[in-house]
Chain A
């Protein structure tokens, strides 16, 4: 069974440019998460989807970040415009249901460098 697929793995952009990350969750997983992982820190939740609905986006900086999960499958996370402080790894994860069981399956991440 294929795992969570993310692309691109690496992205280097100049500040003020836009960037987008794509995530394909494990087939059948209703819940999708985007996490931000700064160097030397644990992942921090940006947004959680239950099917197409964003049920927790309280930590998403909505002035520059946006996300969508059309048709309740793939998801895209966008940053526009990017700032130097956005350099980090963006992790996508999926699970069968909510986070109660904690069994999140993570992708390999998209590492963003903003110059």
Chain B
């Protein structure tokens, strides 16, 4: 079985501040991990993915995430928040023979001026 836990359903940061969105996963086999972003009234868009290559993954819009096996974490970061980053962010895991994609419950990011 696999699962994803996103700590903090709402995160607020000031424009220019560090963004840190937390994700912990549970998987019995080496996982693939993903971050998706969803803007209001839109579908989900892939930000970045980890598929057992480099543990530090760089994505679009200046986001990056680090896979830490010992901590079963895949936290998403961005050095400097921009107003356009305000959206909902979903962490997801894919593992096992069926490779089903399981999403976390999401974190709503608010960027304050």
- Looking at chain B, what size class is its interface with the partner chain? 20 to 34
How many contacting A-B pairs (Cβ < 8 A)? Answer: 60
Assembled-state Cα–Cα distance A101/B105 (Å): 21
Pick the residue among A43, A44, A99 that contacts B44 (CB under 8 A).
A43
Could you give, for residues 37-59 of chain A, a 1 whenever the CB lies within 8 Å of some chain B CB and a 0 otherwise? Answer: 00011111100000000001000
Nearest residue, chain A, Cβ from B33: A102
Assembled-state Cα–Cα distance A105/B45 (Å): 7
Whether B51 contacts A42 by the Cβ 8 Å rule is: no
Main secondary structure of the interface of B (DSSP, over half): strand
Could you give, for residues 11-42 of chain B, a 1 whenever the CB lies within 8 Å of some chain A CB and a 0 otherwise? Answer: 00000000000000000000010100000011
Q: Looking at B9, B41, B101, which has the most chain A CB atoms within 10 Å of its CB?
A: B101
Whether A91 contacts B100 by the Cβ 8 Å rule is: no
Chain A residues, Cβ within 8 Å of B92: 42, 102
- Looking at chain A, what size class is its interface with the partner chain? 20 to 34
Whether A44 contacts B43 by the Cβ 8 Å rule is: no
Knowing A40-B9, A42-B90, A102-B34 are in contact, say whether A93-B100 is a contact too (CB < 8 A): no
**A72, CB-defined interface residue at 8 Å:** no
Q: Looking at A45, A102, A108, which has the most chain B CB atoms within 10 Å of its CB?
A: A102
Knowing A40-B9, A44-B103 are in contact, say whether A101-B51 is a contact too (CB < 8 A): yes
Whether B42 contacts A102 by the Cβ 8 Å rule is: no
Question: How distant is B101 from chain A, measured CB to nearest CB, in Å?
Answer: 5
Knowing A99-B94, A100-B94, A101-B51 are in contact, say whether A91-B101 is a contact too (CB < 8 A): no
Supplied contacts A43-B44, A44-B103, A109-B41, 19 more A-B pairs, CB within 8 Å: A4-B43, A41-B105, A42-B4, A43-B90, A91-B43, A93-B43, A99-B99, A100-B99, A101-B32, A101-B51, A102-B92, A102-B94, A102-B101, A103-B46, A103-B49, A104-B44, A104-B46, A104-B101, A106-B43
B positions within 8 Å CB-CB of A: 4, 9, 32, 34, 41-46, 49, 51, 90, 92, 94, 98-101, 103-106
